[in-house]
Amino acid sequence: MKIWKSLLIVLMIFVNLAFAQPSFADRPKFSKNPDYIEVTKSIKALTKAKEAQTEIEGVTPEEIQQKIDELAFQKYTLETGINWGQCDNQTGKTIAVYGKRPNSEENEDAVYDNDLYFLADGQSTKNNWDCDGFYLPNDARIVGLIPDGQVFTEPVAIKIPDGSKLVINTNPDNAALEINVPNAQVVKAKEVNWFIPNVSQALIDTRVPNAPTNQS
């Protein structure tokens, strides 16, 4: 009888191990995330510029420190395991955003790493749906990047790191787009496998909004 009791106890232990959550499993390697690497590099570069009192065109020392603080917060967010971004459109117009298809199976036949979706004014992309950035129309200006006031001679998109909530506004004085993510990157078609067209805001405005949103 004692042998059977011992075997039963051992069996129960194995069953519990089989169905228990693997709490001791390795955490995701956030340090290998390209966005985490880029955020870390940006912090180091800005910190070095501040310590050396190197001027960055269009940016004051106070603004440099603010961007360092914001990046440090983004770095912490990535370290906690949040691997998606969110885009919030407050421009007064429709914008084009980048993200993967909701159905992962369909992604196997995708030509590009991300699809282009259209986000209506006043809407935010859905929680846990990874918005990787947005398209910059060929007749639009943007501020809030480093360096600021860049002029683009070819079609570009704006890429944001995971863990960011990107808010896009329109400056009422000069109609330029403004963003709140200090380390957003300007990317071209030859740098990322995204569809980056060469069209105006007027054409974007004709599209039916179809981005996954919290409102939908």
Q: Could you read off the pLDDT of 184-203 as tens digits, one per residue? A: 899 999 999 999 999 999 99
- Categorize the per-residue pLDDT at 24 as very low, low, confident or very high, splitting at 50, 70 and 90: very low
Mean pLDDT over the full length of the chain:
81
Secondary structure class of 132 (helix, strand, coil): strand
The pLDDT value given to residue 51:
81
Cis bond before residue 147 (omega within 30° of 0):
yes
Residue 110: its H or E element: none
How far, CA to CA in Å, does 62 sit from each of 2, 38, 65, 164, 184? 74, 22, 5, 22, 19
Amino acid of residue 96: A
Element (H, E) at 70: helix 61-79
Examine the pLDDT at 141 and tell me if it is beyond 60: yes
Residue 41 — pLDDT band, cuts 50, 70, 90?
A: confident
160/28: higher pLDDT? 160
> What pLDDT, on the 0 to 100 scale, is given for residue 7?
46
Which band of pLDDT confidence, cut at 50, 70 and 90, is reported for residue 146?
A: low
What's the gap between Cα 103 and its chain centre? 19
At position 16, the amino acid (one-letter code) is N
Share of the chain above pLDDT 90, in %: 43
Question: In terms of C-beta distances under 8 Å and separation of at least 24 residues, what long-range contacts does 120-123 make, across chains too?
Answer: 120/89, 120/94, 120/209, 120/213, 121/89, 121/90, 121/91, 121/92, 121/93, 121/94, 122/89, 122/90, 123/88, 123/89, 123/209, 123/211, 123/213, 123/214, 123/215
Question: Among 18-27, 29-38, 180-189, where is mean pLDDT lowest?
Answer: 18-27
Using pLDDT thresholds of 50, 70 and 90, give the confidence band for residue 23. very low
Mean of pLDDT values over 172-180: 92
Q: Give residue-wise pLDDT tens across range 76-126.
A: 877 877 788 999 999 999 999 999 876 655 666 778 899 999 999 999 999
Is 154 a residue whose pLDDT tops 80? yes
Lowest-pLDDT range of 37-41, 83-87, 136-140, 196-200: 37-41
The string of pLDDT tens digits covering residues 46-78 is: 888 878 776 666 667 887 888 788 888 878 877
pLDDT band at 42 (very low <50, low <70, confident <90, very high): confident
CB proximity list for 162: less than 8 A, separation 6 or greater: 33, 35, 36, 78, 82, 83, 84, 85, 130
Name every residue whose Cβ is closer than 8 Å to that of residue 88 and which is 6 or more positions away in sequence.
123, 124, 125, 165, 166, 167, 168
Radius of gyration of the chain (CA): 22
> How many of the other CB atoms lie within 10 Å of CB of 13?
10
By C-alpha distance, which of 67, 77, 79, 69 is closest to 30?
A: 79
Question: How far apart are the C-alpha atoms of 83 and 17, rounded to whole Å?
Answer: 28
